[in-house]
Structure 1
Amino acid sequence: MLTDRLQWMLNVRRMNRRNLLRTTLAGAGGLALPFTAWSAAYAAPAQNATGPYGALRAADSNGIQLPAGFTSTVIARSRQAVPGTSYVWHDAPDGGAVIPDGSGWIYVSNAEVSSSAGGGASRIRFDSAGAIIGASRILSGTNQNCAGGKTPWNTWLSCEEITLGRVWETYPLGGTAVVRPAMGRFKHEAAAADPVRQVIYLTEDETDGRFYRFVPGTWGNLSTGTLQVLVAGTGTSGSFSWQNVPDPDGSPTRTRYQVSGAKSFNGGEGCHYANDTVWFTTKGDNRVWQVDLQSNTFELAYDDSLVTSGSAPLTGVDNVTGSSYGDLYVAEDGGSMEICVITPDDKISVFLRVTGQGSSELTGPAFTPAGNRLYFSSQRGTSGSSSGGITYCVTGPFRT
């Protein structure tokens, strides 16, 4: 009986670990397993396991190893016209997202280069069948736009990864990009919108970076608001609080040094929100952090040094996204050039591997609304330079 219940637990969809635990304990009065055992099962960092899609096959014609049933397509290359359009795709494609567009969608992508080299962001428009119907620039004249985040009102927050960098709100569906200085000036990396608490979470790519949230004066309007920083102890788990950053402009004192007790994170990277939880990665220690926004606690969802069986499958953590099923997809900056998947039952495995591109990094993973297509880029492709970027689409039987 216990085995059946455990299997049921592992198959429950669209719920994070803590929500799953709460629901089960509240609704299974006769369950024989003690609370301490459940807590241990759903609080440890992810461990190496066979993935939900099975082993990787040999590399396809694009040099990508995928599970059975999945295929890859090249949709754009840096310095070449996007197929079917006259728009030349930008160098060094980085963070990305999918924006619904009628019956189709838009894939947005940052250009992580200087303003003189074409920094900013672009979009590719697709019809309902996934065919390209247009491409254009949505942001120009900015510097080192690394990652970012999609808002519930379908804008794209493009973040500058430079000292005193800014967040730009772009309009993939039409409109002129606007800088959002109230969101703070620091070495921005990624953003994730929380529609429940009506805030935007922000990562900082410094060796002693902080984790922030921006509380807009009015949800949907990012022109004014309050920047706050996470305050907690030095451990890898515990409780936390938020405190206001006195001077979001970060000059002369950088934002990360303005609040006593603000918790330091080693190189903040990707960020993703779902179901009262926000995940973010830190490249300096190769960790995925999980922040429970209901209990105001944080813990490690993954740490390569804590993998107890076999070799750690995920190194060089970077951009992150989630599927509608509840799986977390983490792209590697270097490492083995893989996108790994962390499942809701704390198992981690390799979903895909890009071969022959060891001097690149994987960026911008994002699912279409239906969840059956995954876009991502290899920032420097086979050439190892920013001019060699390649953007892909993977289709197949994703769990939805």
Structure 2
Amino acid sequence: MDTDTPLIARRRLLKAAGLGLGMAGMGLTPVGQLLARAGSSTQVHAGYGPLQPVRDLNTGLPLLQLPEGFRYTTFGWAGEALAGDIACPGKHDGMGVVRAHGDVVTLVRNHEIGGETSGSFTPPGATWDPDCAGGTTTLRFDTAAGRLLDARPSLSGTLVNCAGGVTPWGTWLSCEEIVLTRGQQLQIDGAVHTMKQSHGYVFEVPADGLSSAEPIVAMGRFKHEAATVDPSTGIVYLTEDGHRRAGFYRMLPAVPGELLRGGRLQMLAAEGAPDLRRGRRQGERLKVRWVEIEHPDQGADSDSPTRDEGVVAQGVAGGGSVFTRLEGCIYGDGRVFFTSTNGGDASCGQVWAYDPGAELLELVFESPDPHVLDYPDNVVLSPRGGLVICEDSAQPVQRLYGMTGAGGLFEFCRSDVVLTGQGGFTGDYRGAEWAGACFSPNGRWLFANVYTPGFTVAITGPWRDGLI
């Protein structure tokens, strides 16, 4: 698939084919039942059995606890040399598999860097704002040998690259989760920096080479979180991580598969429900319309009480509905599923589903208690019909959870990262968030990131249908 020309890739988009659809479509057929069952009968499940310390095949350290029979290797650590003898940045966040060629998979990984003075780590052609140190790295992993082949920079000069999403044509959409305006001053490490470019955009990163570092302005300038593409239409759906109020958006591209050629940005409006943050009933369905965003580049931090004139304000003025802290977003089973990290009456999280064909929005799950589910972050669907949930909570130890097709929750992996100088890091990192979970196309490897000190894990073992 890596030999496709851009024209063929665009045609495959419209035919619901191509690698991105393959990655988005693995195991998605039962997703509606998965989430609905989770809402009605969430229960503790045995999963793969009890967890036990397992040594990393790379460092020899017992960094994770996993069920019996599972093994893992770490790679892409912060500080390690990338191609060109550039130190790998840290704060490993969202990630996706954008290509598979034989046994080799290509991953693009976000680095959620904001307040650092090091500046861009890519050449000028792949840099948006030279004083800014966020961006992406691209890694190739050999699934047969279980090892990293190479790692290189692919985008920089951005800020707070949080999540994003894989496209059906085999690229990565990297999303900035901050809004700053060109000329605005920001204090970083005691020094004042003046932004040479505005921030709050989405950037596209190819599987090969470097990103053009051109912002996709039509996707808006706001606190972006995740993105997903409907492969049958090329429409891109986007979440906003606004603490006070957030919108759910879609971008209708002028040319599907060519996002830099522009399009129309719209915000979801649920009829009769302007506020979806609290007081909703699980299982309720709401008719949807879409509000035009006339000025997608009119960015402002929607969480600031004094600067609320941005994209979300435009949507609300047109009747758009507000959520709180929207995070993960994925297309599957003919619907777009997205999460609100702290939504719901218990402020523990909601899962919503939008049906483009019926123009309906459904609250398919709302956590009633933090002991059921609390502050889920990145999520990925397994080819075996289950769901992997990355934890980003205030708990002292962070976990990867599994959810079965029948709605049973289980703990699959527990962080045990305590370092005493290894890789130049010392400290207890068990409370660092998990992020960027994604599967290899054959489903044999689960990749995920430990945000701090910053490394990627590849986990394999005796997977079973019905679990993850």
Q: Which residue of 1 aligns with 2:139?
A: 124
Q: Which residue of 1 aligns with 2:383?
A: 324
Moved more, 200-209 or 238-247: 238-247
CA distance in 1, matches of 2:109, 2:43: 31
Q: Which residue of 2 aligns with 1:16?
A: 30
CA distance in 2, matches of 1:338, 1:159: 24
Q: Which residue of 1 aligns with 2:234?
A: 198
Moved more, 252-261 or 84-93: 84-93
- Contact 1:138–1:172, Cα closer than 8 Å, also in 2: no
- Cα distance change of structure 1 residues 48 and 366 upon mapping to structure 2, 3 Å threshold: same
Paired residue type of 1:331: C
Is residue 331 of structure 2 the alignment partner of residue 315 of structure 1? no
- Contact 2:36–2:364, Cα closer than 8 Å, also in 1: no
Q: Provide the secondary structure at the position in 1 that maps to 2:89.
A: coil
Q: Which residue of 2 aligns with 1:257?
A: 313
- Cα distance change of structure 1 residues 90 and 251 upon mapping to structure 2, 3 Å threshold: closer
Is residue 403 of structure 2 the alignment partner of residue 342 of structure 1? yes
- Contact 2:38–2:408, Cα closer than 8 Å, also in 1: no
2:247 counterpart (204, 207, 210): 210
Deviations 1:318-353 (A, max 9, x none): 111111223221101134411112233222222211
Q: Which residue of 2 aligns with 1:168?
A: 203
CA distance in 2, matches of 1:228, 1:51: 43
- Cα distance change of structure 1 residues 54 and 262 upon mapping to structure 2, 3 Å threshold: farther
CA distance in 2, matches of 1:331, 1:162: 22
Deviation of residue 396 (structure 1)? 1.5
Deviation of residue 101 (structure 1)? 3.9
- Contact 2:350–2:367, Cα closer than 8 Å, also in 1: no
Deviation of residue 138 (structure 1)? 0.6
Is residue 396 of structure 2 the alignment partner of residue 396 of structure 1? no
CA distance in 1, matches of 2:204, 2:41: 34
Is residue 264 of structure 2 the alignment partner of residue 226 of structure 1? yes
- Contact 1:151–1:157, Cα closer than 8 Å, also in 2: yes
Moved more, 58-67 or 328-337: 58-67
CA distance in 2, matches of 1:389, 1:43: 31
Deviation of residue 292 (structure 1)? 4.0
- Cα distance change of structure 1 residues 376 and 77 upon mapping to structure 2, 3 Å threshold: same
- For residues 282-293 of structure 1, the aligned pairs below 5 Å read 282-284=340-342, 285-293=347-355
Q: Which residue of 2 aligns with 1:44?
A: 39
Is residue 433 of structure 2 the alignment partner of residue 361 of structure 1? yes
Q: Provide the secondary structure at the position in 2 that maps to 1:66.
A: strand
- Contact 1:289–1:298, Cα closer than 8 Å, also in 2: no
Q: Which residue of 2 aligns with 1:159?
A: 175
CA distance in 1, matches of 2:386, 2:178: 31
CA distance in 1, matches of 2:387, 2:461: 17
Is residue 368 of structure 2 the alignment partner of residue 296 of structure 1? no
Is residue 451 of structure 2 the alignment partner of residue 379 of structure 1? yes
CA distance in 1, matches of 2:159, 2:382: 30
CA distance in 1, matches of 2:239, 2:464: 28
- Cα distance change of structure 1 residues 281 and 292 upon mapping to structure 2, 3 Å threshold: closer
TM-score, scaled relative to structure 1:
0.81
- Contact 1:377–1:392, Cα closer than 8 Å, also in 2: yes
Q: Where does structure 1 lack aligned partners over 5 or more consecutive residues?
A: 1-12, 22-39, 381-387
Deviation of residue 69 (structure 1)? 2.0
Deviation of residue 73 (structure 1)? 1.3
Q: Provide the secondary structure at the position in 1 that maps to 2:218.
A: helix
- For residues 44-63 of structure 1, the aligned pairs below 5 Å read 44-45=39-40, 47-58=42-53, 60=55, 61-63=61-63
TM-score, scaled relative to structure 2:
0.70
- For residues 41-120 of structure 1, the aligned pairs below 5 Å read 42=37, 44-45=39-40, 47-58=42-53, 60=55, 61-81=61-81, 86=85, 88-103=87-102, 104-114=104-114, 116-117=117-118, 118-120=133-135
Q: Which residue of 1 aligns with 2:420?
A: none
- Cα distance change of structure 1 residues 153 and 290 upon mapping to structure 2, 3 Å threshold: same
- Cα distance change of structure 1 residues 251 and 377 upon mapping to structure 2, 3 Å threshold: closer
- Contact 1:15–1:344, Cα closer than 8 Å, also in 2: no
Q: Which residue of 1 aligns with 2:292?
A: 244
Deviation of residue 17 (structure 1)? 5.4
- Cα distance change of structure 1 residues 302 and 88 upon mapping to structure 2, 3 Å threshold: farther
Q: Where does structure 2 lack aligned partners over 5 or more consecutive residues?
A: 1-26, 56-60, 119-132, 180-198, 301-308, 418-428
Moved more, 155-164 or 54-63: 54-63
- Contact 1:279–1:289, Cα closer than 8 Å, also in 2: yes
1:269 counterpart (308, 321, 327): 327
Deviation of residue 54 (structure 1)? 2.8
Q: Provide the secondary structure at the position in 2 that maps to 1:153.
A: coil
Paired residue type of 1:100: R
Is residue 218 of structure 2 the alignment partner of residue 182 of structure 1? yes
Identical pairs, percent:
33
CA distance in 2, matches of 1:124, 1:181: 27
Deviation of residue 110 (structure 1)? 0.6
